[in-house]
Amino acid sequence: MVDLLLYWCKRYQNPALYDRMQKIISQLSTPLVLQQKLHNFLTMLMEIAMGRGMLLLPALMAQAHVQGVVYKKLTAKYEQQLSMDMHLLWHKSAAENTTINAMIEYFKLHHTASVAL
C-alpha cells in the first residue's frame, strides 16, 4: 500500500538526480511512488498541506510557510546522496564581469566545485 506520493522531476529533467532517488527508494522498507512535480510551486505546497503528497526541495526554497506543511532537514547521509551538480551560467558578453570572475576564483580556491572554462 502506498501512503503518499513524492513529487519529483521527470528523469529527462535531471537523470543523475532521478537515478540517485531511485536508488534510495529501492532501499526503503515502504513502497514510494514518484509523481511528476506540478508546474506551480505554491500549488504543490497546497497539495502537501492537504495531505496529498510530499516533496524534497533545496533548503533555500523552504521559506514559504503554509499551514499544515512540515519542513524536515535530511540527514547528512541523504543530503550528500541527493546533492545536485551545479553550474554557473552567464551570457558570453559578460565574460569579463568582475562578479562572475570573483565567483569563479572563489570556487577554485575553495575547491567547492569543479570549474571548467
pLDDT in tens, 30-89: 878 888 999 898 898 899 999 888 988 887 778 878 888 888 888 888 888 888 766 777
| Strand 54-55 versus strand 33-36 pairing type | unpaired
CA 45 from chain centre, in angstroms, equals 15
Q: How far apart (Å, rounded) are the C-alpha atoms in residues 38 and 70?
A: 19
Count other Cβ atoms within 10 Å, centred on residue 44: 19
Give 21 or 90, the one with higher predicted confidence: 21
Residue carrying C-alpha cell 570573483 = 102
Please say if the pLDDT value at position 115 is more than 50: no
Q: How confident is the model at residue 94 (pLDDT cuts 50, 70, 90)?
A: confident
**pTM value > 0.75:** no
Cell of 26: 529501492
